[in-house]
């Protein structure tokens, strides 16, 4: 990954939908943070398959725009979407990149008419700064979030926090069907 010295970074941050050519940098960035135990590793194939979920943040440097981080909005049901794959380049953290990526996810949810955002995270404080609230994952999980959990290799003993944000002004779709119940695999109670 090409990195400008932090002092050379002007911190003008832009966010745009991801393109195919971004995938190697997204893969490397997520891989770095997965190695630090902050998020799940994501195979490159999975990133390509979900590329329309992804946004990329860029910063202005004296030599042009550089990759600064990635985040994704994944729709779970008609009333909820998950912010996932959120990772800021490690040398430019706390410069506002993460917040801009979450704002892009929120704008996309509003455009589509999804009234609630959800995320799993170890960085609750960051999400609180973005307007999210910690939820009680023993009782407040949407059934679709639960279904996704059952596919996670860290389901048993998971210590991530669930955070959610109700998007003001976006109504719950009037014709929303009930989501299918979560299917609990054998051996998990
Ligand atoms: C968590 C992460 C996305 C935050 O991105 P960032 O660009 O460093 O954060 P920002 O600069 O946009 O921070 C926005 C606000 O949150 C605060 N903040 C950032 N990280 C925080 C944390 N871990 N705990 C508490 N507050 C935090 C900032 O101080 C800032 O506050 P301010 O608005 O009062 O100035 C980034 O640190 C990261 O990629 N971490 C590793 C991967 C990860 O944990 N991803 C989340 C999985 S869902």
Local confidence band at 43 (pLDDT 50, 70, 90 cut-offs) = very high
Q: Residue 112: inside a domain, yes or no? A: yes
* Contact (CB, 8 A) for 126 and 119: no
In this structure, the residues whose C-beta lies within 6 A of any atom of ligand 1 are 33, 38-39, 86-88, 93-99, 119, 121-123, 125-126, 129
C-alpha 56/C-alpha 86 separation (Å) is 10
C-alpha 127/C-alpha 167 separation (Å) is 14
pLDDT over 50 at 175, yes or no: yes
Q: Residue 172: inside a domain, yes or no? A: no
Q: Residue 187: inside a domain, yes or no? A: no
Q: Whose CA is nearest to atom 4 of ligand 1?
A: 98
Local confidence band at 186 (pLDDT 50, 70, 90 cut-offs) = low
* Contact (CB, 8 A) for 6 and 91: yes
- Alpha helices, H only, the chain: 23-35, 44-49, 97-112, 124-129, 143-149
Q: Residue 178: inside a domain, yes or no? A: no
C-alpha 105/C-alpha 81 separation (Å) is 9
Q: Residue 176: inside a domain, yes or no? A: no
| Phi and psi torsions of 3, nearest 5° | -130, 125
Q: Residue 121: inside a domain, yes or no? A: yes
C-alpha 64/C-alpha 62 separation (Å) is 6
Q: How many domains does the chain have?
A: 1
pLDDT over 80 at 52, yes or no: yes
Domain that holds residue 54: 6-166
Q: Residue 171: inside a domain, yes or no? A: no
Q: Residue 174: inside a domain, yes or no? A: no
pTM for the full predicted model: 0.92
Residue of 91, 129, 158, 161 to mutate, ligand 1, most atoms within 8 A of C-beta: 129
Q: Whose CA is nearest to atom 33 of ligand 1?
A: 129
User: CATH number, domain at 103?
Assistant: 3.40.630.30
């Amino acid at each position: 990954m090409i990195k400008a010295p932090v002092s050379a970074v002007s911190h003008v941050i832009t966010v745009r939908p991801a393109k195919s050519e971004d995938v190697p940098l997204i893969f490397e960035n997520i891989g770095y943070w997965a190695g630090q135990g902050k998020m799940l590793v994501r195979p490159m194939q999975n990133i390509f398959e979900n590329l329309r979920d992804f946004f990329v943040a860029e910063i202005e440097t004296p030599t042009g725009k550089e990759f600064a981080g990635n985040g994704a909005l994944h729709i779970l049901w008609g009333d909820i979407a998950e912010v996932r794959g959120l990772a800021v380049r490690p040398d430019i953290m706390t410069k506002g990149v993460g917040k801009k990526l979450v704002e892009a996810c929120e704008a996309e949810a509003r455009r589509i008419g999804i009234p609630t955002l959800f995320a799993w995270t170890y960085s609750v404080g960051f999400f609180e700064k973005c307007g999210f609230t910690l939820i009680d994952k023993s009782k407040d999980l949407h059934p679709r979030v639960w279904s996704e959990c059952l596919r996670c290799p860290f389901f048993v003993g998971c210590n991530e926090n669930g955070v959610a944000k109700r998007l003001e002004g976006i109504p719950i779709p009037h014709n929303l069907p009930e989501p299918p119940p979560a299917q609990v695999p054998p051996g998990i109670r």
